[in-house]
A and B are shown apart, each in its own frame.
Chain A
Amino acid sequence: MNQSFYKRIGWGMLLLLSMALIATLPRQNASVARAAAPAQSGIVCTTDASPNPTFTLTAKTGYIGIPDGNTIFMWSYALGNDDFQHPGPVLCVNQGDTVTIILHNALPQSTSIVFPGQENVQANGVLAQPQFDGTGTLTSLTNTAAATNGSITYSFVATQPGTYLYESGTEQAKQVQMGLFGALIVRPAGHTDWVYNRADTQFNPSTEFMVLLSEIDPLLHQAVERNLNYNMNNYRARYWLINGRGFPDTIAPNGAAWLPSQPYGALAHIHPYNPATNPIPAVVRYLNVGTEDFPFHPHGNHSRVIGRDGQPWEGPSSENLAQEKFSIPVGPGQTWDATFSWYDAENWDASGHPIPVEVPRDQNLTFGPYYGSPYLGTLDSRPVGTDAQNQCGEYYHIAHNHNLTQIAGWGVTMIGQATYTRIDPPLPNSCP
């Protein structure tokens, strides 16, 4: 932990100042803040004023598209009266906030939300509890909103910074599978650019990414859509998604117009590490809301795992126990936080420091659409007629589930849990 005491004080002051500023601004009606046009990449936070953020979520039905052309009937959380979206909004709050979530239920079945990792969750002002019917049979993990326009209000104090899921707590084998889930980010008090209350978990806020991993059994969704029974013994996932999208939709921008109900992209867009201009790493927040292990493998460099399930990797005396890993094995219900940087380790340069091997002539190679050249910032010519997606000599590295059956989908390859890291040349560059 090299950050000085004074720097920490400085960050705290800055935050207090900005909070004071925000407090003096008139609030835009009662709705929460959400950027009209989110950045093309990076986490899209839904926020509300600290320290009492309030979010209204509406559980409703809708559809998402799968890259094989299939359309899947879903249940998910929309923000207030907004259109259906999947997954639910990414709720970003600050440590110490009293978070209120009003759940409206537009589904034909009672539903609820559990907040794994949050303590003393209140439901309509009393401690949330498992629900039993008159015969003592468990009916829900927590208090519910009644079917067809019921409502319930949950609240909790977000005490521990980290990455969390929120998800249905009612008949969840069906309801979570149907899509009732989202991410909750709790930022350390006074340090919104730290993942945990440790200076060595600092990240660059412009490179904060989410990898929310889920799976879909299309036959279950079809049964629900047709109001038929489904035997969970027959459960078999056939599609695997990141942030509610399959590849290559995963690398489409946030809010892409052609994915109207799937607003969250998963492209990690970064610049190379530079001690002067880009010294702080990106962060990737991994969440697994499925029932299977998802051993995620980002190419390009190791990730530095700094925490899991809302707990920093530290020893009893705050020793830094972060670990570099090339596999992030995210188990069901887990969240993993990992920082990531890419170093231009060899500084290859076409003129002064060329790669030490010969690249064969074009006709002797198969070109990938995202390939630019050996050199960062150089876009080589390529054979006519090949798909060309590289814009300015940027590098791409895939990041994917290494259970390779899960980067496939129902009879089709490469539509599952895969995305890319895009590494742009150092600024200033010619990239759009």
Chain B
Amino acid sequence: MNKRFPISRRHFLKVGGGALAATAGARALSNWGTNVLNPAAVVDAAAAVPDYHLGGTDGWIALPTTPTIPTYHPDSLAPSPFTTYIFGFRNLNGLTDTQIADQKNKAQASAPIMVATENTDFLVKLTNLGLALRPDLVDSHTMHWHGFRNAIPLFDGEPSSSLSVPIGRNLTYYFRPRNPGTYMYHCHFEDTEHVHMGMTGVVFVRPTIGPKFAYNDASTAFDREYVMFLSEVWAEAHWADAHIQLPDWTDYKPDFWLLNGRVYPDTLAPNAIGNDASGDLNAPAGSPHLQRQPISSLVQANAGEKVLLRFVNLGYQKQAMTLPGIKMNVIAKDATLLKNGSANMSYLTNTISIGPGESVDAIFTAPAVTSNTTYLLYNREYDHLNNAGGVGYGGQMTEVRIRPSGVPAQTDGPNT
């Protein structure tokens, strides 16, 4: 696979000429399309390996077993310590062929956080590992980068307009991200089902001005960043997929509201780090049931630090994530800085309203605490702040722990 291709003279003229003509003739355009019409030098990824190698398959995760939901939860087929059947992705980069084959039925929730860089080629190889529990389903999979500007259908992943990956096959998606920001990705094949079953995650693009900025704007500098990925589990639908049944999606009524693939208090457990010898995920320290839910939502920062929260919602309901006691500055929505020329539309709030398929970037400054202080970030939709209707707190909630000092710098990427 030859990834290097110089910009041909013809191509340069085509694009450069377009930019000139656009400047002369721009009427309704405003600043729209600027990044396309004024192309920046593009860095070809040097490695022959894809940036991410997603495996699409089924698997099991663990959600609280109290209360039970008659028939549906916990699933009678679930192997201990798990409860709930899912479809999902894994990152297979670095695994041997044997290890890759072994990851069938070991999907994770939510999908790996993918990080790209503006103007740097980005390759995602997708392998369909098949569904171990449902060999009767011969579903293909795709990867749809939700919000990618000026996509061509081949790399869009909507199956009717594109190509999909059958079981045992693979396809490499190519992206040249020209616009930084917070996006999301998901399988688009039989989308109502595959998205709800968990083939969903976050991809974001770092700007060229530096890795500690959200956008190409000095006001978006941060010290730490956390992805806050919202999704839902309707136990009946997950049970139905495991038991060769079909739900009526118009009866949709979720039982669990997930933050980065977990529900409170599991959201506070640490990240799962690395793979075992078989290529499977290691469980987070102290939480063996979270082996396939590797992403922590615990926010930790020192007083005065700027913390970027990247909210993404791929559930089917609108949510209201609130952080009482700390104002969040909403700087961007849908991977677009809330600025238009000199007009600044960023705003302070305690509550982020976010609907299905939306992303919101917010930065807060950690309060000047003099002792360790805990704030709560949770869904203000209080009927979603529980686990399957049980007593006590659950759902989309996590803690924001601010210390006067001593939290080590964030060097291992988001949510660390």
Contact = CB atoms under 8 A, between A and B. Distances in A.
B28 A201 contact: yes
B174 A355 contact: yes
A356 B161 contact: no
Interface in B19-37: 21-22, 25-30, 32-33, 36-37
A12 B30 CA distance: 22
Contacts of B163: 359, 365-368, 371
A226 interface: no
A300 B150 contact: yes
B28 A357 contact: no
A3 interface: yes
A251 to B, nearest CB: 10
Contacts of A199: 27-28
Contact of B151 (A301, A354, A371, A411): A301
B216 to A, nearest CB: 14
A320 B341 contact: yes
Most buried by A among B21, B25, B191: B191
B348 to A, nearest CB: 18
Contacts of B33: 273, 341, 343
B146 interface: yes
Interface in A257-285: 273-276, 279-281
Interface string A299-326: 1111010000000000100011111111
A156 interface: no
A405 B154 CA distance: 25
Contact of A323 (B160, B173, B338, B356): B338
A407 B333 CA distance: 24
B2 A356 contact: yes
Given A279-B27, A347-B14, A352-B8, A299 B316 contact: no
A404 B191 contact: yes
A408 B21 CA distance: 44
Given A301-B149, A368-B163, A405-B250, A320 B340 contact: yes
Interface in B375-401: none
B161 to A, nearest CB: 4
Given A327-B334, A364-B169, A365-B165, A319 B342 contact: yes
Contacts of B246: 411
Contacts of A411: 246, 248, 250
Interface residues of A, number: 83
Nearest to B35: A345
B357 A276 contact: no
A404 B249 contact: yes
B160 A369 contact: yes
Interface string A144-176: 000000000000000000000000000000000
A323 to B, nearest CB: 6
Contact of A321 (B176, B343, B357): B343
Interface residues of B, number: 80
B153 interface: yes
Most buried by A among B14, B152, B176: B152
A105 to B, nearest CB: 32
B30 A302 contact: no
Contacts of B144: 299
Interface stretch (B86-94, B192-200, B296-304, B405-413): B192-200
Contacts of B21: 275-276
Nearest to B342: A319
Nearest to B154: A374
A84 interface: no
Contacts of A357: 1, 3, 123, 172-174
B178 A405 contact: no
B5 A297 contact: no
Most buried by A among B22, B164, B343, B356: B356
Contacts of B161: 368, 370-371, 395-398, 420
Contacts of A327: 334, 355-358
A405 B249 contact: yes
Interface in A221-276: 236-238, 273-276
B171 A365 contact: yes
B334 A326 contact: yes
Given A358-B1, A413-B193, A302 B166 contact: no
Interface string B346-386: 00000000011110000000000000000000000000000
Contacts of B56: none
B96 interface: no
Contact of B27 (A237, A280, A300, A301): A280
Contacts of A115: none
B43 to A, nearest CB: 13
B345 interface: yes
B24 to A, nearest CB: 8
Interface in B107-140: 121, 123, 140
Most buried by A among B147, B249, B333: B249
Counting from the closest, the 7 A-B pairs by CB-CB distance are: A402-B357, A275-B21, A326-B147, A366-B164, A202-B28, A396-B161, A345-B150
Given A365-B171, A371-B162, 11 more contacts: A279-B22, A281-B32, A301-B151, A319-B343, A323-B334, A325-B336, A342-B150, A356-B1, A357-B173, A366-B163, A368-B161
28 contacts: A200-B29, A274-B18, A304-B32, A319-B340, A319-B341, A320-B340, A320-B343, A323-B338, A324-B336, A326-B147, A326-B357, A327-B355, A341-B32, A341-B33, A344-B150, A345-B36, A353-B11, A357-B3, A357-B172, A357-B173, A367-B163, A398-B161, A402-B357, A403-B316, A409-B250, A413-B193, A414-B192, A420-B161
